[in-house]
Amino acid sequence: MPYFDYASGSPVDERVIEAMLPYMKQHYGNPSSVHSYGFEARKAVEEAREKVLSLVNGKNGDIIFTSGATEANNLAVIGYALRNARRGKHVMVSAVEHMSVINPAKFLQKQGFEVEFIPVNKYGEVDIGFIEERLRDDTILVSVQHANNEIGTIQPIVEISKVMENADAALHVDATASLGKIEVDTESLKVDMMTLSSNDIHGPRGVGGLFVKEGVRLQPIILGGGQERGLRSGTENVAAIVGFGVAAEIAKKEWKGDAEKMERLRDRIIENVLKIEESYLNGHPKKRLPNNVNVRFSYIEGESIILSLDMEGIQASTGSACSSKTLQPSHVLIACGLKHEEAHGSLLLTLGKYNTDEDVDKLLNVLPGVVERLRMMSPLYKAKRG
């Protein structure tokens, strides 16, 4: 069954599963225990940490393992702001961030912080001029994602870091969508914090990480035994962390080849789908992730497209899975200037390394008929045709 929803959930690489199994069966010690089983678990955690750091060239920092990207974003935004509030309370966050950044930013507003949302152009690119103009002495944090998980637009992080080089503010980058798809290098991007996700590189769900540059200070948001460098309490999920490490090790060796394949399939989909009458590409036409296709169709709704494709054995999405339970249009597409009715007609296809030309063949064979059938049921389309 063709699967085009890798941004929501990816299959775990068989090599990762194989590496995890011993830590579910034989090596079940607690990394904090002072005996041989505990030492063995601790060693496995630290080896995984080094593998993840190596993937992102994090030689000048550390990885704090979390339950996923959402917790890592919360730790970065809330943890940094609360720890550094004495220096200032001005925070900037891009308007197209994942909700696990947007909602923590709104939480900070309720705590007395001044939060400004950085506007974007029609392609979803942040306004660097806005950042430069709004930077102040009391600005402590700027959060901009590396690439958007919905529309695939890659943000100009290097240019943003240059604008901020003389400012006393930290730069946090959410690299959940970009890891394993494009180069992710903490040194060249000059970030202070970076959010990472295991499942997005075919590791297990339920584990992620926050890269923290040396010298950056955070306040923990989960209190307890202080297991992860005193910043994230709770017994480590050793098996999942081991899996994350192996997935990172594999991604470091294979991501370029995987990305080339996904980009070829992506371009083939975009070229053919845009042949459908009144279809439009969302996001940047060039500066986009190699696995992302986000298109919209006039007169129909994305949910109807998804259900129709599912009946044909094709899995896809309309936007971020984290906000799919709401009936509201994508905040990302609205920020890009689309009207509500335009945003509701979007189809999101995210590819992975296991997709094939046969998957694309079936999609391109089925989708035009689905769009035509749904439009024939639409009063707006009928009115347009007269």
Active site residues: 322
Strand runs labelled E in the chain:
61-66, 90-94, 114-118, 139-143, 170-174, 193-197, 208-213, 279-281, 292-297, 346-350
Q: Residues 99, 67: contact at Cβ < 8 Å?
A: no
Q: How far is CA 244 from the centre of its chain?
A: 16
Burial class (CB in 10 A: 0-12, 13-18, 19+), 362: middle
C-alpha distances (whole Å) from 335 to each of 115, 121, 340 are: 16, 8, 11
Cα–Cα distance measured from residue 186 to residue 167, given in angstroms and rounded to the nearest whole number: 18
Cα–Cα distance measured from residue 142 to residue 328, given in angstroms and rounded to the nearest whole number: 26
The order of strands in the sheet holding 114-118 is 61-66, 208-213, 193-197, 170-174, 139-143, 90-94, 114-118
Residue with tokens 């459908």: 276
Q: Residues 211, 186: contact at Cβ < 8 Å?
A: yes
Q: Does residue 5 sit in helix, strand or coil?
A: strand
Structure tokens at 52: 């993840």
